[in-house]
Amino acid sequence: MKTLNRRDFLKTGGAAALFAATPGLAYSQVVGGNGPFTDYKALVCVFLFGGNDSYNMLVPNTAAEYNAYASSRQNLALLQADLLPIAPASSGQSDFGLHPAMAGVRDLFVDGHAAFVTNVGPLVEPTTKDQYDNRSVTLPPQLFSHNDQQDQWTSLRGNVPSKTGWAGRMADLIRDGVAGQQMATNASLFGTNLFQAADETVAYVMGPGGPVRFEGFSSTPGEILNEQRLAFERVVDARYDSIYERGFAAVQRRAIDAADTVSTALEAAPALTTQFPQSQLGTQLQTVARLIAVRDDLQMQRQIFFVAAGGFDSHDNQNRDQPGLLGGVSDAIAAFHAATGELAVDDKVTAFTQSDFGRTLTSNGDGTDHAWGGNQLVVGGAVAGGDLYGSYPALEIGGPEDVGGGRMIPSTSADQFAATLARWFGIADADLDIVAPNLSNFAQRDLGFMV
């Protein structure tokens, strides 16, 4: 076997690069202004990459509103008879329906564990159609662009560049209250992301099934260290003159320690009886449930998880693909909520969706194009469920919210959405404007969907 030397060590970016953003056990979460905490809460961001057509996820079900929807959506409209009717608590009538593939979410909504926030999206300030047309209002830059609007949702940056995300800023704010945690507040099962980027704290990035072990190391925690692992340990712990070598060695040490600690905890996790779908999102959410199950072993008080699914950029074949996409999200989130119930933490864990943007009401043939406002789902035992929050728009081409092709101006801002979740998570009201920098431009700081 090849002997590991200093040069080899400095080239070990492959396995170790995944963990370059991990805090490990030695990471010090410097004192901030929130906390300390004596309870446990977790947020789970489910990002739907590509731009979910959420006006086919949540559909008006009364005669006049459905007819307007069907006329605008042309060949993409769902049959009214196929909708899964729901009766929001605020109306008491079955005036909305869900996509027929979303029976799991329908059941959560009926049971009071799911809510929808309607026509929500990135805004710098409240915006009307006249203001948009006259360019007399500050708008988020590069509307309808995938990368830019993903960044808007995850950073809430408005028209000011930001290197941090709103989950990262929350982790910075609460770092004094979670100094004893054995795992970072932020954890991603879908790669590095702006959502969890921060100034002080660092997110822990792992694979969809948990920590990725270093290639060639012992695969099971607690095994006698093999020769390659021992050689790597010697190189990591050596004394280096260069600040860059010392820094790189520190990253590797944190990565090794974090992988060992989290993997050891997961090995002892209780088996869940909840069955998860065998999908990319199902695997990620099952791993999140297992990590929550070992929260006490890792001394966790607050956690924010990032999971994701792709395929929502439905320019083509939307009628063919959307049932599988939305059904997959519904089944995975329903299984995850059931698992949190099995773990008796369903009131301490809140999952929510985000996506690049909504999509045009008009059809481009057999699909849709990039738009703006859309509907987002929130699930958990602490959700004031069984209701809609925000203002559902009139789905009319040329209507009061349409800026062209059925692109809806959001009536609720992503900042308000994030601030409502942040307040429940434990962020002080005075600090909500740090999490959501444009919040002060909106009269309602809390949308009311969390209890």
Split into its structural domains, the chain has a count of 1
Question: Is 408 within the bounds of a domain?
Answer: no
Domain membership of residue 415 (yes or no) is no
Cα distances (angstroms) measured from residue 273 to each of 157, 305, 343, 360, 396? 41, 22, 10, 41, 46
- The backbone torsions φ and ψ at residue 349, rounded to the nearest 5 degrees and listed phi first, read -130, 130
Query: Is residue 83 situated within a structural domain?
Result: yes
**Rounded Cα gap, residues 118 and 191, in angstroms:** 28
Query: CA-CA distance, 329 to 339, in Å (whole number)?
Result: 15
**Residue 344's pLDDT is what?**
98
Amino acid at 302: R
Is residue 402 a part of any domain in this protein?
Answer: no
Q: Which residues of the chain have pLDDT under 70?
A: 1-33, 213-229, 249, 251-253
Query: For residue 317, what are the domain limits?
Result: 6-393+420-441
Question: Tens digits of per-residue pLDDT, 372-410?
Answer: 999 999 999 999 999 999 999 999 999 999 999 999 999
The separation between CA 361 and the C-alpha centre of its own chain, rounded to angstroms, equals 25
Which pLDDT score, from 0 to 100, does residue 241 have?
82
Q: What is the pLDDT of residue 20?
A: 39
Does residue 403 sit within a domain?
A: no
pLDDT in tens, 73-92: 999 999 999 999 999 999 99
Answer yes or no: is 409 within a domain.
no
pLDDT value at position 33? 55
In a domain, 1, yes or no: no
Q: What 8-state DSSP symbol labels residue 17?
A: H
Query: What are the φ/ψ torsions at residue 303 (nearest 5 degrees)?
Result: -140, 145
- Please report, as a single letter, which amino acid is at residue 250: A
Question: Which among 173, 168, 174 is positioned nearest to 188, based on CA atoms?
Answer: 168
Residue 400 is assigned to a structural domain of this protein: no
Which of helix, strand or coil describes residue 314?
Answer: coil
**Bond from prior residue into 122 cis (ω within 30 degrees of 0):** no
Task: Give dist(CA 406, CA 395) in Å, integer.
Answer: 7
In the chain, what are the helix, strand and coil shares in percent, each to the nearest 5?
Answer: 35, 15, 50
The C-alpha angle with vertex 210 and arms to 207 and 212, in degrees rounded to 5, equals: 60
pTM of the complete model: 0.90
Instruction: Specify the pLDDT at position 258.
Output: 85
